[in-house]
Structure 1
Amino acid sequence: MHARPLTIITGGNRGLGYELSHQLFKIHHHDILLTARDINKAREAATRVSSGVKNGNVIRAAQLDVSSSESILRFVSDELDPLLASLAQQGNGQSLVTLVNNAGVYGQGWRETLVTNVVGPGLLSRKFLENLPQTLNGRIVNLTSGMGNAANLPSTLLRQLEEQPPKSPIEIVEWAENWKQDETGHANPYSLSKHLLNYLTELYAKEEHGRGIAVIAVDPGWVQTEMGGPGAPGTIQQGVDRMLAQVLADEHESMKRSGKVFGGVSSAALYQY
Protein backbone atom coordinates (compact mmCIF):
# COMPACT_ATOMS: atom_id res chain seq x y z
CA MET A 1 0.00 0.00 0.00
CA HIS A 2 1.33 3.41 -0.95
CA ALA A 3 0.79 6.53 1.09
CA ARG A 4 -1.11 9.39 -0.51
CA PRO A 5 1.03 11.73 -2.61
CA LEU A 6 2.05 14.95 -0.88
CA THR A 7 2.30 18.13 -2.94
CA ILE A 8 3.91 21.28 -1.56
CA ILE A 9 2.74 24.41 -3.38
CA THR A 10 4.34 27.82 -2.86
CA GLY A 11 2.08 30.80 -3.43
CA GLY A 12 -0.96 28.58 -3.10
CA ASN A 13 -3.38 31.18 -1.83
CA ARG A 14 -4.46 32.56 -5.21
CA GLY A 15 -4.40 32.13 -8.96
CA LEU A 16 -2.80 29.04 -10.44
CA GLY A 17 -1.38 27.91 -7.12
CA TYR A 18 -4.78 27.96 -5.46
CA GLU A 19 -6.55 26.17 -8.29
CA LEU A 20 -3.80 23.55 -8.49
CA SER A 21 -4.14 22.96 -4.74
CA HIS A 22 -7.91 22.69 -5.05
CA GLN A 23 -7.89 20.16 -7.87
CA LEU A 24 -5.10 18.00 -6.46
CA PHE A 25 -6.89 17.87 -3.11
CA LYS A 26 -10.47 17.40 -4.29
CA ILE A 27 -10.08 15.33 -7.47
CA HIS A 28 -6.74 13.55 -7.15
CA HIS A 29 -6.75 13.03 -3.37
CA HIS A 30 -3.30 14.47 -2.69
CA ASP A 31 -2.26 15.72 0.70
CA ILE A 32 -1.35 19.40 0.31
CA LEU A 33 1.04 21.74 2.07
CA LEU A 34 -0.14 25.18 0.90
CA THR A 35 2.10 28.16 1.56
CA ALA A 36 1.76 31.93 1.27
CA ARG A 37 3.65 34.96 2.51
CA ASP A 38 0.76 35.76 4.85
CA ILE A 39 -0.14 32.83 7.12
CA ASN A 40 -3.72 34.07 7.43
CA LYS A 41 -4.14 34.01 3.65
CA ALA A 42 -2.65 30.52 3.55
CA ARG A 43 -5.10 29.34 6.20
CA GLU A 44 -8.06 30.96 4.46
CA ALA A 45 -7.10 29.32 1.17
CA ALA A 46 -6.65 25.92 2.83
CA THR A 47 -10.09 26.24 4.41
CA ARG A 48 -11.68 27.04 1.03
CA VAL A 49 -9.88 24.15 -0.66
CA SER A 50 -11.02 21.60 1.92
CA SER A 51 -14.58 22.87 2.27
CA GLY A 52 -17.03 20.04 1.69
CA VAL A 53 -14.30 17.53 0.81
CA LYS A 54 -14.20 14.31 2.83
CA ASN A 55 -11.65 12.14 1.06
CA GLY A 56 -9.52 11.46 4.12
CA ASN A 57 -6.64 13.48 2.73
CA VAL A 58 -5.09 16.39 4.60
CA ILE A 59 -4.29 20.00 3.75
CA ARG A 60 -1.93 22.10 5.84
CA ALA A 61 -1.17 25.81 5.66
CA ALA A 62 2.23 27.37 6.29
CA GLN A 63 3.89 30.77 6.09
CA LEU A 64 6.63 31.04 3.48
CA ASP A 65 8.15 34.07 1.78
CA VAL A 66 10.40 32.72 -0.96
CA SER A 67 12.13 36.10 -1.27
CA SER A 68 13.54 35.65 2.26
CA SER A 69 16.24 33.09 3.02
CA GLU A 70 15.32 33.33 6.71
CA SER A 71 11.71 32.47 5.91
CA ILE A 72 12.81 29.54 3.76
CA LEU A 73 15.04 28.10 6.48
CA ARG A 74 12.31 28.54 9.09
CA PHE A 75 9.77 26.84 6.84
CA VAL A 76 12.13 23.93 6.25
CA SER A 77 12.89 23.40 9.94
CA ASP A 78 9.39 24.03 11.30
CA GLU A 79 7.15 22.61 8.57
CA LEU A 80 8.90 20.63 5.85
CA ASP A 81 11.35 18.50 7.82
CA PRO A 82 8.82 17.26 10.41
CA LEU A 83 6.34 16.43 7.66
CA LEU A 84 8.90 14.49 5.62
CA ALA A 85 10.09 12.63 8.71
CA SER A 86 6.52 11.67 9.57
CA LEU A 87 5.93 10.34 6.06
CA ALA A 88 9.14 8.34 6.14
CA GLN A 89 8.20 6.75 9.48
CA GLN A 90 4.79 5.61 8.27
CA GLY A 91 6.44 2.77 6.38
CA ASN A 92 3.48 2.07 4.11
CA GLY A 93 5.17 2.41 0.77
CA GLN A 94 7.21 5.02 -1.05
CA SER A 95 5.11 8.15 -1.14
CA LEU A 96 5.68 10.72 -3.88
CA VAL A 97 6.49 14.18 -2.52
CA THR A 98 6.34 16.97 -5.11
CA LEU A 99 7.56 20.52 -4.62
CA VAL A 100 5.80 22.99 -6.93
CA ASN A 101 7.75 26.24 -7.10
CA ASN A 102 4.73 28.32 -8.09
CA ALA A 103 5.28 31.59 -6.18
CA GLY A 104 6.68 34.42 -8.25
CA VAL A 105 6.41 38.10 -9.11
CA TYR A 106 6.00 40.07 -12.34
CA GLY A 107 6.37 43.78 -12.93
CA GLN A 108 8.50 44.35 -9.85
CA GLY A 109 12.00 45.76 -9.52
CA TRP A 110 15.19 44.08 -10.67
CA ARG A 111 16.39 42.69 -7.36
CA GLU A 112 12.97 41.63 -6.05
CA THR A 113 12.20 39.79 -9.27
CA LEU A 114 15.46 37.84 -9.37
CA VAL A 115 15.42 37.00 -5.67
CA THR A 116 11.78 35.86 -5.69
CA ASN A 117 11.80 34.01 -9.01
CA VAL A 118 15.29 32.47 -8.92
CA VAL A 119 17.05 32.66 -5.56
CA GLY A 120 14.04 31.51 -3.55
CA PRO A 121 13.17 28.49 -5.71
CA GLY A 122 16.85 27.60 -5.96
CA LEU A 123 17.40 27.58 -2.20
CA LEU A 124 14.10 25.89 -1.38
CA SER A 125 14.77 23.18 -3.95
CA ARG A 126 18.23 22.59 -2.50
CA LYS A 127 16.85 22.15 1.01
CA PHE A 128 14.05 19.92 -0.25
CA LEU A 129 16.51 17.67 -2.07
CA GLU A 130 18.99 17.57 0.80
CA ASN A 131 16.37 16.69 3.39
CA LEU A 132 14.18 14.28 1.42
CA PRO A 133 14.47 10.85 3.10
CA GLN A 134 15.70 8.05 0.84
CA THR A 135 12.52 6.12 1.55
CA LEU A 136 10.45 8.80 -0.23
CA ASN A 137 10.20 9.59 -3.93
CA GLY A 138 10.67 13.22 -4.90
CA ARG A 139 9.82 15.52 -7.78
CA ILE A 140 10.18 19.25 -8.43
CA VAL A 141 7.97 21.23 -10.81
CA ASN A 142 9.09 24.80 -11.53
CA LEU A 143 6.65 27.34 -12.93
CA THR A 144 8.33 29.13 -15.82
CA SER A 145 7.20 31.36 -18.69
CA GLY A 146 7.66 31.69 -22.42
CA MET A 147 9.15 35.08 -21.61
CA GLY A 148 12.21 33.15 -20.44
CA ASN A 149 12.90 32.09 -24.02
CA ALA A 150 16.34 33.12 -25.25
CA ALA A 151 14.67 35.24 -27.97
CA ASN A 152 13.57 37.66 -25.23
CA LEU A 153 17.07 38.31 -23.87
CA PRO A 154 19.87 40.65 -25.07
CA SER A 155 22.44 39.04 -27.36
CA THR A 156 25.26 40.26 -25.11
CA LEU A 157 23.83 38.28 -22.20
CA LEU A 158 23.33 35.17 -24.31
CA ARG A 159 26.96 35.32 -25.45
CA GLN A 160 28.04 35.65 -21.84
CA LEU A 161 26.02 32.58 -20.87
CA GLU A 162 27.37 30.64 -23.85
CA GLU A 163 31.00 31.50 -23.06
CA GLN A 164 30.67 30.91 -19.32
CA PRO A 165 27.70 28.60 -18.77
CA PRO A 166 26.64 27.95 -15.18
CA LYS A 167 28.07 24.73 -13.77
CA SER A 168 25.78 24.25 -10.78
CA PRO A 169 22.43 25.42 -9.42
CA ILE A 170 24.13 27.33 -6.61
CA GLU A 171 26.11 29.30 -9.21
CA ILE A 172 22.85 30.43 -10.79
CA VAL A 173 21.54 31.45 -7.38
CA GLU A 174 24.69 33.50 -6.79
CA TRP A 175 24.31 35.20 -10.17
CA ALA A 176 20.73 36.14 -9.40
CA GLU A 177 21.77 37.51 -6.03
CA ASN A 178 24.64 39.62 -7.34
CA TRP A 179 24.07 40.58 -10.97
CA LYS A 180 23.34 44.22 -11.72
CA GLN A 181 21.01 45.05 -14.58
CA ASP A 182 23.63 46.94 -16.58
CA GLU A 183 25.83 43.82 -16.48
CA THR A 184 23.22 41.88 -18.45
CA GLY A 185 22.64 44.25 -21.35
CA HIS A 186 19.67 45.67 -19.42
CA ALA A 187 17.71 42.44 -19.67
CA ASN A 188 14.06 42.43 -18.66
CA PRO A 189 14.19 41.11 -15.09
CA TYR A 190 11.21 38.79 -15.47
CA SER A 191 12.52 37.27 -18.71
CA LEU A 192 15.96 36.79 -17.18
CA SER A 193 14.50 35.27 -14.01
CA LYS A 194 12.57 32.64 -15.94
CA HIS A 195 15.55 31.93 -18.21
CA LEU A 196 17.68 31.28 -15.14
CA LEU A 197 14.92 29.17 -13.59
CA ASN A 198 15.05 26.98 -16.71
CA TYR A 199 18.80 26.62 -16.18
CA LEU A 200 18.14 25.66 -12.56
CA THR A 201 15.74 23.01 -13.76
CA GLU A 202 18.29 21.51 -16.12
CA LEU A 203 21.15 21.48 -13.62
CA TYR A 204 19.13 20.10 -10.72
CA ALA A 205 17.80 17.41 -13.07
CA LYS A 206 21.36 16.36 -13.92
CA GLU A 207 22.36 16.30 -10.26
CA GLU A 208 19.37 14.22 -9.17
CA HIS A 209 19.09 11.82 -12.10
CA GLY A 210 20.87 9.07 -10.20
CA ARG A 211 18.35 9.30 -7.37
CA GLY A 212 15.42 9.04 -9.74
CA ILE A 213 14.17 12.54 -8.88
CA ALA A 214 12.63 14.43 -11.81
CA VAL A 215 12.97 18.21 -12.04
CA ILE A 216 10.67 19.70 -14.66
CA ALA A 217 9.73 23.23 -15.74
CA VAL A 218 6.26 24.02 -17.02
CA ASP A 219 4.98 27.14 -18.75
CA PRO A 220 1.25 27.46 -17.96
CA GLY A 221 0.84 30.09 -20.64
CA TRP A 222 -0.54 33.60 -20.37
CA VAL A 223 -3.71 33.00 -18.42
CA GLN A 224 -6.37 35.06 -16.66
CA THR A 225 -4.95 35.34 -13.16
CA GLU A 226 -4.31 38.46 -11.11
CA MET A 227 -0.80 38.45 -12.57
CA GLY A 228 -1.88 37.69 -16.14
CA GLY A 229 -4.82 40.08 -16.16
CA PRO A 230 -8.36 39.69 -17.56
CA GLY A 231 -7.17 40.18 -21.14
CA ALA A 232 -5.00 37.08 -21.17
CA PRO A 233 -5.95 34.61 -23.93
CA GLY A 234 -5.85 31.52 -21.71
CA THR A 235 -8.03 30.40 -18.82
CA ILE A 236 -6.82 29.39 -15.39
CA GLN A 237 -7.99 25.86 -16.11
CA GLN A 238 -5.80 25.66 -19.20
CA GLY A 239 -2.81 26.72 -17.13
CA VAL A 240 -3.62 24.27 -14.35
CA ASP A 241 -4.01 21.44 -16.87
CA ARG A 242 -0.43 22.06 -17.99
CA MET A 243 0.78 21.96 -14.40
CA LEU A 244 -1.23 18.84 -13.60
CA ALA A 245 0.34 17.06 -16.58
CA GLN A 246 3.71 17.31 -14.83
CA VAL A 247 2.62 16.77 -11.24
CA LEU A 248 0.56 13.67 -12.08
CA ALA A 249 2.90 12.05 -14.62
CA ASP A 250 4.03 8.56 -13.64
CA GLU A 251 7.61 8.02 -12.51
CA HIS A 252 8.87 6.67 -15.83
CA GLU A 253 7.36 9.51 -17.85
CA SER A 254 8.51 12.19 -15.41
CA MET A 255 12.12 10.99 -15.64
CA LYS A 256 11.93 11.21 -19.44
CA ARG A 257 10.80 14.82 -19.05
CA SER A 258 13.33 15.75 -16.37
CA GLY A 259 15.46 18.80 -17.15
CA LYS A 260 13.13 20.08 -19.85
CA VAL A 261 10.59 22.86 -20.27
CA PHE A 262 7.02 21.90 -21.13
CA GLY A 263 3.96 23.91 -21.98
CA GLY A 264 0.94 21.76 -22.61
CA VAL A 265 -0.96 18.63 -21.75
CA SER A 266 0.76 16.98 -24.73
CA SER A 267 4.05 17.45 -22.85
CA ALA A 268 5.89 18.63 -25.94
CA ALA A 269 8.97 20.69 -25.15
CA LEU A 270 8.34 24.34 -25.96
CA TYR A 271 11.81 25.62 -26.66
CA GLN A 272 15.48 25.27 -25.97
CA TYR A 273 17.19 27.55 -23.48
Structure 2
Amino acid sequence: MNIVITGANRGLGYELTLAAAQRGHKVIAGIRSSQPGGKLLELIDLFPGQIGAVQLDVCNEETIARLAERLLAERQTVDAVINNAGILLGRGVAIEEMPMEDIVGSFEINLFGPMMVIKHLLPLMTDGALRAVLNISSEAGSLTHAYGGDYPYAISKTAINMLSKQLKEYVKERGIRVYAIHPGWIKTDMGGEKAPGDPAESARSIIDILEMKTEIDPECFFINVKGEPMPI
Protein backbone atom coordinates (compact mmCIF):
# COMPACT_ATOMS: atom_id res chain seq x y z
CA MET A 1 0.00 0.00 0.00
CA ASN A 2 0.94 3.63 -0.54
CA ILE A 3 -0.05 5.29 2.75
CA VAL A 4 -0.10 9.00 3.61
CA ILE A 5 0.32 9.65 7.34
CA THR A 6 0.11 13.17 8.78
CA GLY A 7 2.02 14.20 11.88
CA ALA A 8 4.46 11.36 11.19
CA ASN A 9 7.50 12.68 13.03
CA ARG A 10 6.48 11.89 16.60
CA GLY A 11 4.05 10.13 18.90
CA LEU A 12 1.42 7.92 17.33
CA GLY A 13 2.28 9.20 13.84
CA TYR A 14 5.85 7.98 14.17
CA GLU A 15 4.69 4.59 15.46
CA LEU A 16 2.20 4.29 12.60
CA THR A 17 4.98 5.03 10.13
CA LEU A 18 7.20 2.39 11.74
CA ALA A 19 4.43 -0.25 11.88
CA ALA A 20 3.46 0.33 8.25
CA ALA A 21 7.07 0.16 7.04
CA GLN A 22 7.72 -3.02 9.01
CA ARG A 23 4.89 -4.67 7.07
CA GLY A 24 6.29 -3.64 3.73
CA HIS A 25 4.07 -0.67 2.96
CA LYS A 26 5.31 2.56 1.40
CA VAL A 27 4.73 5.60 3.59
CA ILE A 28 4.46 9.24 2.62
CA ALA A 29 5.29 10.75 5.99
CA GLY A 30 3.78 14.19 6.33
CA ILE A 31 5.65 16.62 8.58
CA ARG A 32 5.41 20.38 9.14
CA SER A 33 9.09 21.11 8.47
CA SER A 34 10.76 21.00 5.08
CA GLN A 35 13.28 18.34 6.16
CA PRO A 36 12.95 15.30 8.45
CA GLY A 37 15.07 14.97 11.54
CA GLY A 38 15.51 12.95 14.71
CA LYS A 39 13.88 9.55 14.96
CA LEU A 40 12.03 9.89 11.66
CA LEU A 41 15.28 10.46 9.77
CA GLU A 42 16.71 7.33 11.39
CA LEU A 43 13.58 5.44 10.36
CA ILE A 44 13.95 6.58 6.75
CA ASP A 45 17.51 5.25 6.74
CA LEU A 46 16.34 1.98 8.31
CA PHE A 47 13.75 1.38 5.56
CA PRO A 48 15.39 2.70 2.36
CA GLY A 49 12.92 3.35 -0.41
CA GLN A 50 9.88 2.75 1.79
CA ILE A 51 9.46 6.03 3.65
CA GLY A 52 9.49 9.45 2.06
CA ALA A 53 9.12 12.55 4.22
CA VAL A 54 7.20 15.46 2.69
CA GLN A 55 6.30 18.89 4.00
CA LEU A 56 2.62 18.61 4.78
CA ASP A 57 1.31 21.19 7.23
CA VAL A 58 -2.37 20.48 7.76
CA CYS A 59 -2.90 24.18 8.50
CA ASN A 60 -1.43 25.13 5.14
CA GLU A 61 -3.53 23.97 2.21
CA GLU A 62 -0.79 24.90 -0.24
CA THR A 63 1.49 22.16 1.12
CA ILE A 64 -1.30 19.59 0.79
CA ALA A 65 -2.14 20.66 -2.75
CA ARG A 66 1.55 20.56 -3.68
CA LEU A 67 1.81 16.95 -2.52
CA ALA A 68 -1.29 15.98 -4.50
CA GLU A 69 0.08 17.67 -7.63
CA ARG A 70 3.40 15.88 -7.25
CA LEU A 71 1.78 12.48 -6.82
CA LEU A 72 -0.44 13.11 -9.84
CA ALA A 73 2.56 14.14 -11.95
CA GLU A 74 4.37 10.97 -10.88
CA ARG A 75 1.23 8.92 -11.63
CA GLN A 76 1.13 7.65 -8.08
CA THR A 77 -2.12 6.63 -6.43
CA VAL A 78 -2.93 6.78 -2.71
CA ASP A 79 -4.22 3.60 -1.11
CA ALA A 80 -4.81 4.99 2.36
CA VAL A 81 -4.76 8.21 4.33
CA ILE A 82 -4.25 8.29 8.09
CA ASN A 83 -5.18 11.71 9.42
CA ASN A 84 -3.14 11.58 12.60
CA ALA A 85 -1.94 15.15 13.15
CA GLY A 86 -3.76 16.68 16.11
CA ILE A 87 -3.49 19.11 18.98
CA LEU A 88 -4.80 19.37 22.54
CA LEU A 89 -5.30 22.94 23.72
CA GLY A 90 -7.15 24.40 26.69
CA ARG A 91 -6.88 21.31 28.87
CA GLY A 92 -8.46 21.92 32.26
CA VAL A 93 -9.57 25.45 31.33
CA ALA A 94 -13.12 26.45 32.31
CA ILE A 95 -15.41 27.71 29.56
CA GLU A 96 -15.55 31.13 31.24
CA GLU A 97 -11.78 31.49 30.84
CA MET A 98 -11.30 29.74 27.50
CA PRO A 99 -9.21 31.70 24.97
CA MET A 100 -11.07 31.57 21.68
CA GLU A 101 -7.79 31.13 19.82
CA ASP A 102 -7.55 27.70 21.46
CA ILE A 103 -10.92 26.77 19.96
CA VAL A 104 -9.98 28.10 16.53
CA GLY A 105 -6.53 26.48 16.61
CA SER A 106 -8.00 23.12 17.59
CA PHE A 107 -10.47 23.15 14.73
CA GLU A 108 -7.78 24.23 12.26
CA ILE A 109 -5.64 21.19 13.06
CA ASN A 110 -8.14 18.57 14.24
CA LEU A 111 -10.89 19.16 11.67
CA PHE A 112 -10.03 21.58 8.87
CA GLY A 113 -6.66 19.91 8.34
CA PRO A 114 -8.09 16.43 7.75
CA MET A 115 -10.79 17.93 5.54
CA MET A 116 -8.18 19.58 3.32
CA VAL A 117 -6.09 16.40 3.17
CA ILE A 118 -9.15 14.43 2.09
CA LYS A 119 -10.15 17.15 -0.39
CA HIS A 120 -6.84 16.89 -2.24
CA LEU A 121 -5.96 13.19 -1.83
CA LEU A 122 -9.34 11.50 -2.28
CA PRO A 123 -9.19 12.04 -6.08
CA LEU A 124 -5.93 10.04 -6.07
CA MET A 125 -7.56 7.00 -4.46
CA THR A 126 -8.79 4.18 -6.64
CA ASP A 127 -11.95 2.28 -5.76
CA GLY A 128 -12.09 -0.85 -3.60
CA ALA A 129 -12.16 -2.14 -0.04
CA LEU A 130 -8.37 -2.10 0.29
CA ARG A 131 -8.57 1.71 0.18
CA ALA A 132 -9.24 3.56 3.42
CA VAL A 133 -9.36 6.89 5.20
CA LEU A 134 -8.61 6.58 8.90
CA ASN A 135 -9.20 9.67 11.00
CA ILE A 136 -7.61 9.54 14.45
CA SER A 137 -10.33 10.62 16.84
CA SER A 138 -10.86 10.20 20.59
CA GLU A 139 -13.38 8.97 23.12
CA ALA A 140 -13.53 12.65 24.12
CA GLY A 141 -15.58 13.19 20.96
CA SER A 142 -18.42 10.96 22.17
CA LEU A 143 -21.68 12.84 22.74
CA THR A 144 -22.89 10.00 24.95
CA HIS A 145 -19.94 10.35 27.32
CA ALA A 146 -19.57 14.13 27.12
CA TYR A 147 -17.89 15.72 30.12
CA GLY A 148 -17.49 19.33 31.18
CA GLY A 149 -13.96 19.98 30.03
CA ASP A 150 -11.34 19.91 27.26
CA TYR A 151 -13.77 21.90 25.12
CA PRO A 152 -11.53 22.65 22.10
CA TYR A 153 -10.29 19.07 21.81
CA ALA A 154 -13.55 17.27 22.55
CA ILE A 155 -15.72 19.37 20.26
CA SER A 156 -13.24 19.16 17.39
CA LYS A 157 -13.11 15.37 17.78
CA THR A 158 -16.91 15.19 17.73
CA ALA A 159 -16.69 17.11 14.47
CA ILE A 160 -14.13 14.71 12.97
CA ASN A 161 -16.50 11.86 13.86
CA MET A 162 -19.25 13.59 11.90
CA LEU A 163 -16.92 14.16 8.97
CA SER A 164 -16.01 10.47 9.03
CA LYS A 165 -19.65 9.46 8.94
CA GLN A 166 -20.40 11.83 6.07
CA LEU A 167 -17.37 10.66 4.10
CA LYS A 168 -18.27 7.01 4.72
CA GLU A 169 -21.63 7.65 3.06
CA TYR A 170 -20.06 9.71 0.27
CA VAL A 171 -17.58 7.03 -0.84
CA LYS A 172 -19.76 4.01 -0.09
CA GLU A 173 -20.36 3.25 -3.77
CA ARG A 174 -16.60 3.33 -4.37
CA GLY A 175 -16.02 0.68 -1.69
CA ILE A 176 -13.58 2.88 0.25
CA ARG A 177 -13.57 2.32 4.01
CA VAL A 178 -13.75 5.28 6.39
CA TYR A 179 -13.32 5.15 10.17
CA ALA A 180 -12.85 7.54 13.05
CA ILE A 181 -10.58 5.64 15.42
CA HIS A 182 -10.08 6.09 19.15
CA PRO A 183 -6.43 5.06 19.65
CA GLY A 184 -6.73 4.70 23.41
CA TRP A 185 -5.10 6.73 26.14
CA ILE A 186 -1.48 6.27 25.12
CA LYS A 187 1.91 7.56 26.26
CA THR A 188 2.67 10.43 23.88
CA ASP A 189 3.33 14.13 24.31
CA MET A 190 -0.44 14.59 24.19
CA GLY A 191 -1.41 11.62 26.32
CA GLY A 192 1.23 12.22 28.98
CA GLU A 193 3.38 9.87 31.03
CA LYS A 194 0.46 8.65 33.15
CA ALA A 195 -1.27 7.13 30.13
CA PRO A 196 -1.50 3.33 30.41
CA GLY A 197 -1.42 2.56 26.69
CA ASP A 198 1.54 1.84 24.43
CA PRO A 199 1.48 3.92 21.21
CA ALA A 200 3.39 1.21 19.34
CA GLU A 201 0.72 -1.37 20.18
CA SER A 202 -2.03 1.06 19.22
CA ALA A 203 -0.29 1.76 15.91
CA ARG A 204 0.02 -1.94 15.09
CA SER A 205 -3.69 -2.42 15.76
CA ILE A 206 -4.55 0.52 13.50
CA ILE A 207 -2.47 -0.99 10.69
CA ASP A 208 -4.35 -4.26 11.29
CA ILE A 209 -7.57 -2.33 10.62
CA LEU A 210 -6.03 -0.85 7.49
CA GLU A 211 -5.02 -4.31 6.28
CA MET A 212 -8.54 -5.66 6.97
CA LYS A 213 -7.24 -8.11 9.59
CA THR A 214 -9.79 -6.87 12.13
CA GLU A 215 -13.46 -7.81 11.96
CA ILE A 216 -15.61 -4.67 11.98
CA ASP A 217 -19.36 -4.25 11.68
CA PRO A 218 -19.88 -2.62 8.27
CA GLU A 219 -22.29 -0.11 9.81
CA CYS A 220 -19.69 1.18 12.28
CA PHE A 221 -17.70 4.32 11.64
CA PHE A 222 -16.47 5.34 15.15
CA ILE A 223 -14.38 2.48 16.55
CA ASN A 224 -11.52 1.65 18.89
CA VAL A 225 -8.29 -0.03 17.82
CA LYS A 226 -9.87 -3.47 18.25
CA GLY A 227 -12.54 -2.57 15.71
CA GLU A 228 -15.24 -2.37 18.39
CA PRO A 229 -17.91 0.35 18.11
CA MET A 230 -17.41 3.46 20.23
CA PRO A 231 -20.43 5.19 21.77
CA ILE A 232 -21.42 8.03 19.48
TM-score tier after normalising by the smaller chain length: 0.7 to 0.9
1:149–1:195 contact (8 Å) kept in structure 2 = yes
Question: What are structure 1's unaligned runs of at least 5 residues?
Answer: 88-95, 155-185
What is the distance in 1 between the residues matched to 2:167 and 2:224? 19
What is the distance in 1 between the residues matched to 2:66 and 2:45? 28
Are positions 1:33 and 2:28 aligned together? yes
Are positions 1:65 and 2:57 aligned together? yes
Are positions 1:261 and 2:222 aligned together? yes
Root mean square deviation of aligned Cα: 2.6
Instruction: Give the direction of change, closer, same or farther, for the CA distance of 1:236–1:53 in structure 2 (3 Å limit).
Output: same
SS in 1 for 2:194: coil
1:214–1:259 contact (8 Å) kept in structure 2 = no
Deviations 1:43-84 (A, max 9, x none): 555432244446xx5211100110122222223223x4335x
What code does the residue aligned with 2:105 have? E
Q: Determine the structure 2 residue equivalent to 1:157.
A: none
With 141-150 and 119-128 compared, the bigger mean Cα shift is at: 119-128
Q: 1:81 aligns with which of 57, 67, 72?
A: 72
Query: What TM-score does the superposition give when structure 2 sets the normalisation length?
Result: 0.84
Q: Figure out how many residues of one structure are paired with residues of the other and give that number.
A: 220
Q: Determine the structure 1 residue equivalent to 2:112.
A: 119
Q: Determine the structure 2 residue equivalent to 1:203.
A: 166
Q: Determine the structure 2 residue equivalent to 1:172.
A: none
Larger RCO, structures 1/2 (Cα 8 Å, 6+ apart): 2
SS in 2 for 1:86: coil
Equivalent positions of 1:3-22 (< 5 A) are 5-22=1-18
Q: 2:81 aligns with which of 94, 99, 120?
A: 99
Query: What TM-score does the superposition give when structure 1 sets the normalisation length?
Result: 0.72
What is the distance in 1 between the residues matched to 2:215 and 2:169? 16
Question: What are structure 2's unaligned runs of at least 5 residues?
Answer: 91-101
What is the distance in 1 between the residues matched to 2:147 and 2:113? 22
Higher gyration radius (CA) = 1
Higher helix share: 1
